[in-house]
Homo-oligomer: A and B are copies of this chain.
Amino acid sequence: MNHPETTVIPARKGIAFEVRRGSRLKIINTHGSQVLDTWAFALDDMKEYMSMEHTRSSTSRIIPATGDTYVSNLFTPMLTVIEDTSPGIHDTLMCCCSRKTYERLKYEGYHDNCNDNFHAALAGVGRQSAFTPGPLNLFMNFPVSGAGVITREPPVSRPGDHVLFDVKADLLMVISACPQDIQTVNGVGKMPTEAAFQILN
């Protein structure tokens, strides 16, 4: 097997790319504490999207575990977690950050945000989505207490940690390296970094 190509996901930015059924997709937290807002669409139908609410219904977990499958709004299997070298803490509950997020945080002026990154990355490959699906927030650590209260903690992942997915359908992926630098979403240093992915055939 050839050494797989590594594609960098630039800090604070989004990227869109195709993956094919039967491939594996490795998403790498290069510097260790970068949250990656992740979406998937059926390659031939932008109306079919990876759905966190359908995935929770299918897996009966708020964070799918190794062996679990992320599904679409039609319950089509999209991505199965086959390896996770991180502690397995991700998030399926929270919206991506948007212009409004930073307005609410009293940031003045334009701030990069995952919502704009998502739509810009799609536009860059000639696609569009009528809305922003709820994201899979890889490596994000927002624990839920037994009483249902959500807290915001820095990631517990480490440099080089990765999640390896078995790709179950032809997909258009979008990943945004979250530019949140006001809260500790991306670590106590509040320093968004690049990350990376590999497609293994």
A residues sitting closer than 8 Å to B (CB atoms) are: 47, 49, 51-54, 56-57, 60-63, 73-75, 93-95, 98, 100-101, 104, 130-132, 134, 144-146, 148-152
Contact = CB atoms under 8 A, between A and B. Distances in A.
Contacts of A149: 60-61
Nearest to A115: B73
26 contacts: A47-B131, A51-B134, A52-B53, A52-B134, A53-B93, A53-B94, A53-B95, A54-B95, A56-B95, A57-B94, A57-B95, A61-B148, A61-B150, A62-B93, A62-B148, A62-B150, A73-B131, A74-B98, A75-B100, A75-B101, A75-B104, A93-B93, A130-B130, A134-B134, A144-B144, A144-B148
Contacts of A151: 60
Q: Ordered nearest first, which 5 A-B pairs have the shortest CB separation? A: A130-B130, A146-B146, A53-B95, A53-B134, A62-B148
Contacts of A93: 53, 56, 62, 93
A101 B132 CA distance: 23
A107 to B, nearest CB: 14
Contacts of A131: 47, 49, 73, 130-131
A137 to B, nearest CB: 10
A60 to B, nearest CB: 5
A60 B74 CA distance: 28
A145 B146 contact: yes
Nearest to A51: B95
A69 B49 CA distance: 27
A73 B51 contact: no
